[in-house]
Structure 1
Amino acid sequence: MSHDGVQRAALPIPDLAYTGTVTYDATDPDTHYPPITELRPPAGAPNVAVILIDDCGFGASSAFGGPIATPNFERLAAKGLKYTRFHTTALCSPTRAALLSGRNHHSVGMGGITEIATSAPGYNSLRPNDCAPLAETLRLNGYSTAQFGKCHEVPVWETSPVGPFGHWPTPGGGFEYFYGFIGGETNQWYPALYEGTTPVEPWGTPEQGYHFMADMTDKAVAWVRQQKALAPDKPFFTYFAPGATHAPHHVPTEWADTYKGKFDQGWDRLREETFARQKELGVIPQDADLTPRNEGIPSWDEMSDELKPVLAREMEVYAGFLAYADHYVGAFLDSLDDMGVLDDTLVYLIIGDNGASGEGTMKGTTNESFTLNGMTALETDEFLIAHKDELGTPRSYNHYAVAWAHAMDTPYQWTKQIASHWGGTRNGTIVSWPNGIRARGEIRNQFAHVIDVAPTVLEAAGIPEPHTVNGVTQRPYEGVAMNYSFDDGDAEERHTTQYFEMFGNRAIYHKGWTAVARHKFPWQGSTHGLDEDVWELYDVEKDWTQSHDLASKEPERLAELQRLFLIQAARFNVLPMDVRSIERFNPDLAGRPTLVKGDSQIFFPGMKRLTENSVLSIKNKSHTVTAKISVPDGGAEGAIIAQGGAFGGWSLYLKNGALAYAYNLLGVRTEHVRSDRALTSGEHEVRMQFAYAGGGLAKGGTVTLYDGEEIMGTGAISATMPMTISVDESVDVGRDIATRVTDDYTGGEFTGTIDWVRLDIGDDDQSHLVDPHHLVANAMMRQ
């Protein structure tokens, strides 16, 4: 029963049948029916805005002592509270699944990422229907709900335009409106966008001023304005999750230029500067220790003097990206203020869904696909130096060096993926609700976790946790409401036990102590068994940063905590822990479905935004692309079919009416095979045959172009991409959406008519030669 006496524990709230007198004539004085009442939450329920920044460590934002100015984050904190011991799961998809469900990530099937899902309950990427999401609970209690930005919770085999959509933000996630991207990252200049479940294109180009961060903010502002204009008495729940600051670090140059010269001192000195500011702000204790640089991360002095300007620019670009995100978070909050609803809005600003990303190599990169394909040898120091000024612009797909990520996690050890240590899981969080929290500008040190958000929101709204939703008995929330700490900084913490696990990196927190075991580095796969891991023990009430390992001094306490971890692991579907690599990338072995089966696939005009998981793989094997087309009088131009874009891809197209094929190798070079004569007007069945050279991965091949059975052209492709063609660009029929594979065409839209396009693959696949550890690293970069 809620505060208003309405039975809200079973959702949807049952309709009550009329039990009064039924008259024969509506004009009869005894005719009386109660008026229709609209569904609303209990009186006083606040609006809710959850803002989740991506891949941002504890030591990045100025609100928590970082070097990057975030005045809007600080402005929000001045009206509310900073939580210094708020934790995530160490990876984006699991954190998001936990945030939106109020349950641990393994409880909702997101123990890893969808690309390596298995059939085990804790790792299948399928949120069970006994764990209804927060948005659905709020919607069924009368809230308006909308999500903007990043999702990356959809099972990989359900990401195509045909769904099913039960795990998409709408309708399955409880959001009535969604505008954003489905995958782990997207090009911020040319994003792969969905509105609801329909793919849509950005309103403009970078040259016209387009950037996704600004676009999603405009959409969010417009949605809230409309909601308040049409239903001002109805509260909203908005989930505002930008792609910032996940790679690619795309930002207008002027924002990056603001930080010119600010990082020339290097990452080691930067950590010391940040550490000092954190003590001044009081977000860490005065007696806290700065943890040393971790094993495998180079010092600034080890880097070559020639490369240091590139490394410094990588950090300038990242800083500009976070500052840019802060600006648009401020714009969104300003819009709420202008509408007069900000003071009655419970705002959660979680500055990072995990620690900063250590997936950018030791030197950083201008294009993540070099790393994704194991072709970093192409990106020499000379290449990086030559392309320094392109970082952050539409001509790059960039990421910064691992050591910058470590610096962004100051004062803690390790980075994203490392769930054993605070560097992977501790994220500065700000909570503001002026009409519901009396305290202003204060710090809270109680332990909290991302699963605590959902129960906190329900308690603030006066809505009970439902015991059934859509007829399914619900699993109780596993988080602890944080409301008790809002106006009492000295309140005894209530979230006293919490496990952490990601790829074998694991820990247990219990009443001021942590036992932790790091299993693997973020930049490599598992190299040994779980039982070989070394456990550490920390008294985090006295040792805030996990600097002094007490395992050898208190073996009994360590053993107790290890046992507690196993109990929690069994309780929340963590077992069996899975650090396998190649087996999890084989759907048959892993036990997950695949969307595309067989060795042939047909496409039709209008099909677009098909991800690599939605199409047959042509990598490391021979293949054929066949298309039935009609050429009008005067000839035709443009892409018949294209996959990928300017940072890697291929296209079959017509140029000056002649059949042509382009293969773009990571943006380094684009090789073409062209016919020397144009196709005549009328119907044609054209074909491109790619005969793979064999002998290993990433080899080239011979391309033959046909019109019917007539050879129209031949040529050689020197090398191909073995693992990933594009992170977020897609297969598009009759066009080349977003960035272009080749400059041979401009818009890329085919000016003839396409009946169908068919893709056939050969039986000479050599993908089994891929290093399984690299497959894991490949998947992790896209989180």
Structure 2
Amino acid sequence: MNIFSKLYCVISTLFLFGSCKEAVKEKTVAKDDRPNIVLIMSDDMGYSDIAPYGGEIETPNLTALAENGLKFTQFYNTGRCCPTRASLLTGCYPHQAGIGHMTNSPENPTGHDYEVPGYRGSLNTNTVTIAEVLKDAGYRTLMTGKWHVGYTDEKMWPLQRGFDKFYGIIPGATNLFKPEYPRGITVGNDSIKIADENYYTTDAFTDEAIQFIADTDDTNKDSPFFLYLAYNAPHWPIQAPQDVIDKYKGKYSEGWQKLREERYARMKEMGLIDANWKLTEQDSRDWDSIDDEKKKELDLRMAIYAAMVDRMDQNIGKLVDSLKARGQFENTIIMFLNDNGACAEFDELGSGPAEQLETKEGYVLSYGRAWANASNTPYREYKHFLHEGGMATPFIVHWPKGIPTEKRGETIREHGFLPDLMATSVDLAEAAYPKKYKGNDIVPTAGKSLRPLFQEAPKRIHTEPIFWEHEGNKAVRLGKYKLVQKWEKDVKENWELYDMEKTVPKPIT
């Protein structure tokens, strides 16, 4: 071989080596274009409280997400906080996850353990969480806010169920200014006390979520993230920063019937409900029967509740702004929903001493059933129940990169439910839902991916019946029909069948 042939071989080898090296380099640094997934949930909020669903409460950030994304009119939770969170996280029916009723509490660690698989009071190991599935698929998994699906053992907590980082509350309720009882704030697995006099959980949960994203970007910026942001607003105790409360004082002085009528009119105008639907009967005493001093207190209770929703929306705006600043907004899918219908627990006219309103004191402060009836306009019943007022949730989806321009602002009338969020997340993350996990057989997910509704012409996702049960209240949905029963002692023949495209609330007989 002459010198020129040898030189040619050397040059060719170097060229091929360099090309292969570049190919390996390109493969190594190729950007992961799977979307970031942000799941935001409010707590004890009514169907019509936010502006995109007919409410008068100022929620411009949720409005913007709805107008540039999609909003669903018939998406369902399970009617109560714990089973909703269990179903959302696992993609299964709550009974399959072990929380058919409620989770156990620190005061009564076996209080909701009925020693049957569907009612053990904490997430079981025959289900996987969205965080566990997405973590195995290469996602960073972050959570801030309310856990409430297992308290008595750390094995039930977020870090042990797939989340890389957690900041929030393990139990179901706390004072929003002073989260001390029963555990305070948990960071990772550790309990901390809050000394900041300006502390407010809604603000803190958002700030920590933003910081988690920034911190994990610094260490693993090429991987997408999953964020579960579970606010405890507007769950009781009704507490909000004073400047936000002041915006709403006096706005509810005409009472709940006037509020229901105004929201009902807006909902019809927006096309959220059929113009032929009648407003359900008022489930409270007449506003004019109440004395002026009590009216002033009730106006204040509703003003505080509205302020909680307003402040939550402000914080959602803060999160959106941070995603935009980091260049992550376009390929982040944001899904917003609520855990159950408005809360009618305690008294018709609110609970907790009036003198604690507008202070940082109190634990069981509520706005009452009368206002909850307005929050659930136009539906009847509340949290706990499986009529629309208990289980219909606002559901907003925003994803600039994934929702075609021509579909943005669309209203989706096909029905879906919580397990669909697992199936959707698995689809978006190109993940694999496991049959086994850590040696345990895993229950198949009950959900269907909603992705076709985001990107194609509307079509029915669920052609099979889907079911709910909580505290003896029951419901079945198949196509346009819904069969529902409210549990009443010694009453068996109270099933109601509804055509959801024609009549609400008149049942088909």
Q: What TM-score do you get using the length of structure 1 for normalisation?
A: 0.58
Which residue of 534, 545, 548 corresponds with 2:494?
A: 534
Give every structure 1 segment of 4 or more consecutive aligned residues whose post-TM-superposition deviation is greater than 3 Å.
Answer: 35-43
Farther off after superposition, 105-114 or 225-234: 225-234
**Correspondence for 1:471:** 439
Q: What residue number does 2:215 align with? A: 226
Which residue of the other structure, out of 252, 267, 277, is the alignment partner of 1:288?
277
Displacement of 1:550 after TM fit? 1.6
Matched residue SS, 2:209: helix
Aligned to 2:348: 362
Which residue of structure 2 lines up, in the alignment, with residue 338 of structure 1? Answer: 325
Residue 436, structure 1, aligned to residue 422, structure 2: no
Greater relative contact order (Cα < 8 A, sep 6+): 2
Contact kept? 2:480, 2:500, Cα under 8 Å: yes
Shift of 1:232: 1.6
Please show how residues 194-233 of structure 1 align to structure 2 within 5 Å: 194-205=186-197, 209-233=198-222
Aligned to 2:262: 273
Counterpart residue identity of residue 358, structure 1 = A
Matched, 1:107 2:74: no
Q: Aligned equivalents of 2:28 and 2:260: distance in 1?
A: 52
Residues 354-407 of structure 1, C-alpha deviation per residue, up to 9 Å, x if partnerless? 00110141121235xxxxxxxxxxxxxxxx4xx2xx414213432111110111
In structure 2, what is the Cα distance between the partners aligned to 1:495 and 1:321?
38
- Contact 2:175/2:362 (8 A) holds in 1: no
Residue of structure 2 equivalent to 1:690:
none
Q: Which has the higher helix share?
A: 2
Matched, 1:308 2:258: no
Contact 1:279–1:286, Cα closer than 8 Å, also in 2: yes
Q: Note the C-alpha offset of 1:471.
A: 3.1
Shift of 1:333: 1.6
Partner SS, residue 330 of structure 1: helix
Stretch of structure 1 that moved more, 123-132 or 270-279: 123-132
Deviation, 1:541, is 1.8
8 Å CA contact 1:468, 1:474 repeated in 2:
yes
Alpha-carbon distance in 2 for matches of 1:152, 1:39: 40
Sequence identity (%): 33
Structure 2 counterpart of 1:423, from 375, 382, 389: 389
Are residues 152 and 40 of structure 1, via their aligned partners in 2, closer, same or farther at CA, if it must alter by over 3 Å? farther
Instruction: Give me the whole-angstrom Cα distance separating, in 1, the residues matched to 2:279 and 2:464.
Output: 25
- 1:219-618 map, 5 Å: 219-294=208-283, 297-350=284-337, 352-367=338-353, 384=354, 387=355, 390-397=356-363, 398-419=365-386, 421-438=387-404, 439-494=407-462, 496-520=464-488, 528-529=489-490, 532-543=492-503, 546-551=504-509
Q: Is the Cα–Cα contact under 8 Å of residues 54 and 246 in structure 1 kept in the other structure?
A: yes
Q: What displacement does 1:412 show?
A: 0.6
Partner Cα separation in structure 2 for residue 305 and residue 41 of structure 1: 67
Distance 1:40 1:180, change over 3 A: farther
Residues in 2 aligned to 1:174 and 1:128: alpha-carbon distance in whole angstroms: 14
Q: How many Å separate the matches in 2 of 1:517 and 1:147?
A: 35
> What do the CA deviations read for 1:266-292 (whole angstroms, capped 9, x no partner)?
111111100111112222222222111
Secondary structure of the 1:307 match is helix
- SS, match of residue 507 in structure 2: coil
The answer on whether the counterparts of 2:32 and 2:224 sit within 8 Å (CA) in structure 1 is no
**What secondary structure sits across from 1:427 in the alignment?**
strand
| Superimposed CA distance per residue, residues 234-261 of structure 1 (whole angstroms, 9 cap, x where no aligned partner) | 1011100111110011101111110122
Match of 1:131 in 2: 127
Distance (Å, rounded) in 1 between the aligned partners of 2:322 and 2:502: 42
Using the TM superposition, give the Cα deviation of residue 472 of structure 1 relative to its aligned residue in structure 2, in angstroms.
2.8
Equivalents in 2 of 1:347, 1:229: separation in Å? 22
Is 2:130 aligned against 1:142?
no
The residue identity in structure 1 corresponding to 2:506 is H
1:94 aligns to 2:83 (yes or no): yes
100 and 391 in structure 1: CA distance in 2 versus 1, 3 angstrom threshold: same
Shift of 1:128: 2.8
Alpha-carbon distance between aligned partners in 2 of 1:502 and 1:36, rounded to the nearest angstrom:
54
Q: Which whole-Å deviations, capped at 9, do the CAs of 1:180-204 have from their partners, x for residues lacking one?
A: 0011111111111000110012251
Work out whether residues 480 and 495 of structure 1, in 8 Å CA contact, stay in contact via their aligned partners in 2: no
1:41 to 1:363, Cα distance in 2 relative to 1, 3 A: farther
Distance across 2 between alignment mates of 1:479 and 1:365: 38
| Structure with greater proportional strand content | 1
Q: Which of 149, 160, 169 lines up with 1:153 in the alignment?
A: 149
**1:87 Cα deviation (Å)?**
0.5
- CA separation in 2, counterparts of 1:541 and 1:216? 39
Range moving further from structure 2, 281-290 or 474-483: 281-290
Q: 1:46 aligns with which of 35, 45, 57?
A: 35
Pairwise CA distance, 1:45: 1.4
Shift of the 489–403 alpha-carbon distance from structure 1 to 2, 3 Å rule, reads: farther
Q: Is the 8 A contact 2:82 2:101 kept in 1?
A: yes
CA distance in 1, matches of 2:457, 2:300: 40
Equivalent in the alignment of 1:177: 165
One-letter code aligned to 2:296: P
1:241 and 1:532 mapped to 2: Cα distance? 37
Unaligned runs of 5+ in 2: 1-23, 105-111
In structure 2, what is the Cα distance between the partners aligned to 1:63 and 1:122?
Answer: 36
Displacement of 1:117: 2.6
1:63 is matched with 52
CA distance in 2, matches of 1:62, 1:38: 46
Q: With structure 2 as the length reference, what TM-score do the two structures score?
A: 0.89
- Look up the SS of the partner of 2:421 in the other structure: helix
Measure how far apart 1:488 and its partner are.
3.1
Distance 2:409 2:53 in 1: 13
Question: How many residue pairs were aligned?
Answer: 474
SS of equivalent residue, structure 1 residue 256: helix
